Amino acid sequence: MNMIKLFILFMTCSVSVVAWGGTAAPDPRVLWKEIQTLQKNHAIMSGSIPYQVGSRMADPYTVDLANALAQSSIHSAGGILKVTRYADGSLVVKENFNVNKQLVGITAMLKAANFDPTDRNWVMASYNPAGKVLSFGKVGSCIACHVLVRHQDLVFAPPPTQLLPITTWKAFFPKQEINPVYVALIKHHPEALVR
């Protein structure tokens, strides 16, 4: 990432920490603008690659993005598996793509100081590709899955670094079809299963 992009991301994050330092979740439209900035700057999360394997057939490709504060947390810890606490203002985003690599949805996690200490102060959000809010705030279904990696401050590492066992995956997505490529990753990387 060039220095100009890094500076822009840093300045965006600096503003975000102030705006999201209170106990209330930010306005979902403000968070959407931050997500768009990450998309525009191709702010790929450390350890992620464009169009990596997604677990669902509804969105078999994903791209993970992260702002400068999240990236700094990852780098300071020595990798995503070693992060125990993300800095306030950290934003991680998952872009979800269909088989034609068209964007079908976006999910995000924002660390907002004092938002919800029980769930590590993460604001969970999902949007359609046009920015319409589908869920926002304390989203129990998101938290229920992400607590599986509570030792990593609720943030999963991209596949194949971390994978959900099929039985766990089916418990969270009972009406979804699992991506056979993801199943193959599970077979080839059993050491990566979340326990």
Residue 20 binned pLDDT confidence (cut-offs 50, 70, 90): very low
Which residues pair with residue 88 across a beta bridge?
none
Return the structure tokens found at 29: 């439209």
Which residues does 113 contact at the CB level (< 8 Å), separation at least 6? 17, 20, 21, 22, 88, 121
Is there a domain that residue 113 lies in? yes
Q: Residue 17: its pLDDT value, please?
A: 38
CA atoms within 13 A on the CB side of 193: 14
Is there a domain that residue 41 lies in? yes
Answer left, alpha or beta for residue 95, where phi above 0 means left and psi between -120 and 50 means alpha.
beta
Is there a domain that residue 164 lies in? no
Q: Domains in the chain: how many in total?
A: 1
Which residue carries 């394997």 as its tokens? Answer: 53
Whole-prediction pTM value? 0.86
Is there a domain that residue 110 lies in? yes
Which residues does 10 contact at the CB level (< 8 Å), separation at least 6? 68
Residue 22 binned pLDDT confidence (cut-offs 50, 70, 90): very low
Is there a domain that residue 143 lies in? yes
Q: What is the pLDDT of residues 85-132, one digit of tens each?
A: 999 999 999 999 999 999 999 999 999 988 888 888 999 999 999 999
Which CATH number do you get for residue 109? 3.50.70
Is there a domain that residue 25 lies in? yes
Q: What is the pLDDT of residues 64-77, one digit of tens each?
A: 999 999 999 999 99
Residue span of the structural domain in which 24 resides: 3-156
Residue 139 binned pLDDT confidence (cut-offs 50, 70, 90): confident
Which residues does 40 contact at the CB level (< 8 Å), separation at least 6? none
Q: What is the mean pLDDT of residues 56-85?
A: 97
133 has pLDDT over 70? yes
Strands (E), 15-114: 52-56, 59-66, 91-97, 103-111
Is there a domain that residue 190 lies in? no
